[in-house]
Structure formats: C-alpha cells, structure tokens
C-alpha cells in the first residue's frame, strides 16, 4: 500500500512564500466565487491504515471478476490468458517508471521496446508505419479521423454502425469540434451497407470484425472509398488479423484498434493501449511518437524518436496530438505477448478461437428459442437473439455462475433481445456446453413466465 505524508504548515508556508503569495486562496483568485465550494470538504473522520484496508477490501468484494464466473462477455474487452512472463518484465523498474524518452542516449531500452512494438503492429496490420501507441481503441479511431480531416480537408465522415459504440461516440464528440458531419452507415444482414459516397466524404470508417462479430469485406469497402478520394479507416481486433487478410492487403489507409487482447488484463476496462498504423504517405500526420532505428558515429545500432516536430513539446498548438508518455508500458505488454506467442502461436490461438466459436454458435442456435442475428462468418464473437427478456435470461444464467454475454439492446435497440457472445481460449468446450444448458433452461423458463403472464 502506498503511504501518504501530508504537507506540514511549515512546508506550506515555505512554498507559498517561494512563489510570492500569502495564502492558498490567492492561488484561486481568478476563479469566480460562484464556482468555488466555499466550505471544507466533507471527508469525515480519519481512519487508520488497517481500517482503510478493510474498507477497500469490502468494496472490492462487491465486484465480480472474470475469475469468479465463466464469462462470455466481449464487446471490445476479452478474457484472454495473460502469461506470468508479462508481469515479470513490465514490473522491472526500468520499464515501470520511465517518462517520455526524449533523451535517447539514456533511453535505449525503452526506445528499442517501442521499435519492436511498432514492427509487430506493422506486421499484423500489413501497413508500413506504426506509432508507439495511443491511449485506447476509441480515441485511436477519433485520431484516425483527425488524420483524414487534415489530409483532404473534407467535411463528412461515414462510419459503419458495426463500429464499436464507444468509438462512434468518441468520433462524434471530436467531429463536433472540427465542425464535421458524421453519417452512420447501416448494417444489412450483419455487415456494413455503405450509402452512395461523394467527394465530400473525408473517410469511411469500419470495424474488422464488426461489433456483431461479422467479418467485413474490407477490400470492397476500401475500393468504394478510394473511388471518391476518401480514406479508409479500419478499427481492428488485432488477434484475428493473424488469419484474415491484413488491412494493408485490403487497401486500407489507416488501421487502428484496441490492444487489450495483447497481454493486458481486463482490469475493470483499463488501462490498455490503442494501436495506430498507416500508409507511408500519412506518416507525417500520424499522432503520437515513432521510434526509429539509426546508427551512431561509431556505426553501432541505436534508437531515437523521429518526427518529433508533430508533438506538442515542440509545435505547441500546431501539433498533431498531445500524446506524452501515452500507454508505453501497456504497449510493451503487447509486444511481449506477441513474442511469447510467436508467429505460429498466434495462428494456433486464433484457429482455436475460430473452432470453438463455430462450435458454440452451432450448439446454441440449435436450442429452441435461440436464433442467430446474422449468418456471416465470425472468428471470436457472434450475435444471437433469445425469445425471452434478455436481461432476465442473463440474470438466471449468472445465478449459475455463468455470464452469457453482452445485451445488445444497450447499444442496438433494434436487437431488443440480442446477446453478443465472445469466445477466447479460456472458454473450453465444457464451458460452452454449460452455457448451452444454462441459456436453454433460462430461455425456456422465461418463455413460460411470459406465457403465464407473470
């Protein structure tokens, strides 16, 4: 537990004197009094360290983790196994504590880790340039939109309804500040149906696989965008890229995504990292930092930060982003995980997910009262509809220690009883059989309840 030692009166007096003010209140003189609390904080009585520990432990016990139930939740965050190797490396002080490596001569280890990470992301996405990470998946989508805006100065984004709801909302928030319009392309039979595009579209933004689990035809979508001069942005789940055609092969200009699946635990939704890769033509407009390889005066291999003129410590308000330390530690976990799997290991992992997902989809949709929402190819996640109130079905399953998935109605009202089910290597066939039994029984029970009018 981290210890905290408060500032003494003498410390406070010395600090105020040094900066030339008489009181703490003077520091806030420019803030209107109507915006101030104007009373002490109601912090209550102080507690001992032991009492604080017991209180925090009681609060933590109110949560249910993926270790406490068989979880089929996904929707952007997934319950993958995280090898012990990752903590053993990222918790080393040289990785855990450094700030931004602006001084390359003392930051070679951190810069090399960034360089290796960029190489791995470029290989996964099939695009030649990767940065050294951004904050997380949704902000990576918005950052890609900003690159498109600065590239062609057009005023409209077309984003698929199959893109993660958080990413769509993040893009809308920033597009408002850029005075840009966001048009949503609908899903037809589970896949993106682009509207007719014109030369006012800055970028077409899709997700691979999409939020309902369907594999999109990235090549066709990229070709449609290219005919009008729009960029194509693909928000990708990085693991399935080991089997699918890469975004680069499909003609995509920018590939971004959420990196949590690469060696980062769920941890209540964060922290994780976002990845960002692009064509070489867009390299100077990319956000964040790029670690580059070079040689020193003696011809020895070395690493530096390149294209720093894009960053705010040099260009101030003209910078392309405000990324500082970003999520370098989480990105390091990502490249350790990919190195641990290796080229063949990642393929085996995704093939395993593919097989178990197919088994689960076939098994569940054979149950009376459960149908699939679309029949398109899937890798790790698929959407079903249950013929019963979905929240009550979920509650019945959780009573048996199974979280059956994510209720789609939260983000897709048109699928009022939809359920998104995710499969990882941690979900065995026995787990899937348990899910089928629990889900089938829950749907049957709720149908009887509805029929009885109770």
CA 50 – CA 14 distance, rounded (Å): 33
pLDDT at 79 over 90: yes
What pLDDT, on a 0 to 100 scale, did the predictor assign at position 323?
66
For the record, the structure tokens of 313 come out as 């410590």
**pLDDT per residue over 118-131, tens digit each?**
999 999 999 999 99
pLDDT at 100 over 70: yes
Q: What percent of the chain has pLDDT over 90?
A: 80
For the chain, the average pLDDT equals 93
Which residue bears the tokens 């993660």? 164
Q: What H or E segment, with its residue span, contains residue 338?
A: helix 328-365
pLDDT at 451 over 90: no
CATH fold of 84-337 reads 3.40.640
Q: Which residues contact 318 (CB under 8 A, 6 or more apart)?
A: none
Exposed, middle or buried, 147 (CB in 10 Å: 0-12/13-18/19+)? buried
Domain borders along the chain are 84-337, 344-452
**pLDDT per residue over 290-305, tens digit each?**
999 999 889 999 999 8
Average pLDDT value for residue range 362-386: 97
Can you name the residues that pair with 304 across neighbouring β-strands?
292
Phi then psi for residue 55, to 5 deg, are: -65, -45
Q: Which residues contact 112 (CB under 8 A, 6 or more apart)?
A: 291, 303
Judge whether 328 and 133 are in contact, CB under 8 Å. yes
Looking at domain 344-452, its CATH class is alpha beta
Overall pTM surpassing 0.75 (yes/no): yes
What pLDDT, on a 0 to 100 scale, did the predictor assign at position 44?
77
Taking Cα atoms as reference points, which of 436, 405, 424, 245 lies closest to residue 352? 424
Q: Which residues contact 338 (CB under 8 A, 6 or more apart)?
A: 120, 124, 262, 263, 346
Average pLDDT value for residue range 319-327: 69
What pLDDT, on a 0 to 100 scale, did the predictor assign at position 289?
86
CA 305 – CA 27 distance, rounded (Å): 37
Least confident of 1-10, 17-26, 370-379: 1-10
pLDDT at 69 over 80: yes
What pLDDT, on a 0 to 100 scale, did the predictor assign at position 325?
64
**pLDDT per residue over 183-232, tens digit each?**
999 999 999 999 999 999 999 999 999 999 999 999 999 999 999 999 99
What pLDDT, on a 0 to 100 scale, did the predictor assign at position 1?
47
What pLDDT, on a 0 to 100 scale, did the predictor assign at position 102?
79
What pLDDT, on a 0 to 100 scale, did the predictor assign at position 322?
66
Q: Predicted confidence band at 357 (pLDDT cuts at 50, 70, 90)?
A: very high
Average pLDDT value for residue range 333-346: 97
Task: Spell out where 338-392 has E strands.
Answer: 370-372, 381-386
Q: What H or E segment, with its residue span, contains residue 174?
A: helix 165-177
Average pLDDT value for residue range 16-22: 93
């Amino acid at each position: 537990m981290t210890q905290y030692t408060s500032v003494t009166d003498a410390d406070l007096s010395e600090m105020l004197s040094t900066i030339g003010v008489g009181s703490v209140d003077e520091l806030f003189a420019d803030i209107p009094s109507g915006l101030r609390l104007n009373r002490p904080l109601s912090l209550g009585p102080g507690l001992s360290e032991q009492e604080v520990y017991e209180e925090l432990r009681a609060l933590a016990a109110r949560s249910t983790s993926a270790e406490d139930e068989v979880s089929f939740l996904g929707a952007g965050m997934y319950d993958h196994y995280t090898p012990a190797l990752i903590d053993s490396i990222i918790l080393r002080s040289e990785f855990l504590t450094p700030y931004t490596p602006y001084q390359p001569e003392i930051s070679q280890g951190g810069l090399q880790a960034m360089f290796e990470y960029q190489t791995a992301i470029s290989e996964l996405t099939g695009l030649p340039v990767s940065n050294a990470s951004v904050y997380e998946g949704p902000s990576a989508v918005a950052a890609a939109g900003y690159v498109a805006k600065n590239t062609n100065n057009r005023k409209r984004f077309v984003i698929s309804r199959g893109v993660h709801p958080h990413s769509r909302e993040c893009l809308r928030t920033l597009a408002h500040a850029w005075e840009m319009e966001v048009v949503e392309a609908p899903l037809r039979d589970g896949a993106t149906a682009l509207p007719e595009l014109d030369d006012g579209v800055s970028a077409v933004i899709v997700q691979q696989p999409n939020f309902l689990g369907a594999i999109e035809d990235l090549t066709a979508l990229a070709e449609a965008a290219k005919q009008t001069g729009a960029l194509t942005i693909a928000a990708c789940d990085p693991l399935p890229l080991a089997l699918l055609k890469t975004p680069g092969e499909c003609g995509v200009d920018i590939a971004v995504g959420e990196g949590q699946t690469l060696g980062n635990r769920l941890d209540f939704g964060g922290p994780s990292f976002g990845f960002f890769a692009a064509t070489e033509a867009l390299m100077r407009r990319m956000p964040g930092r790029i670690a580059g390889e070079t040689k020193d005066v003696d011809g020895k291999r070395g690493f530096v930060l390149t294209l720093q003129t894009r960053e705010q410590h040099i260009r101030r308000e003209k910078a392309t982003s405000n990324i500082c330390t970003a999520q370098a530690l989480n990105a390091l976990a990502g490249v350790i995980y990919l190195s641990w799997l290796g080229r063949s290991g990642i393929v085996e992992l995704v093939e395993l997910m593919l097989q178990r997902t197919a088994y689960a989809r076939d098994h569940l949709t054979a149950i009376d009262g459960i149908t699939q929402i679309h029949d398109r190819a899937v890798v790790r996640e698929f959407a079903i509809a249950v013929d019963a109130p979905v929240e009550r079905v979920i509650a019945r399953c959780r009573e048996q220690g199974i979280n059956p998935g994510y209720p789609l109605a939260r983000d897709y009202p048109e699928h009022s009883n939809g359920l998104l089910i995710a499969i990882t290597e941690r979900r065995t066939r026995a787990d899937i059989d348990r899910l089928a039994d629990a889900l089938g029984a829950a749907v049957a029970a709720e149908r009887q309840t509805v029929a009885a009018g109770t």
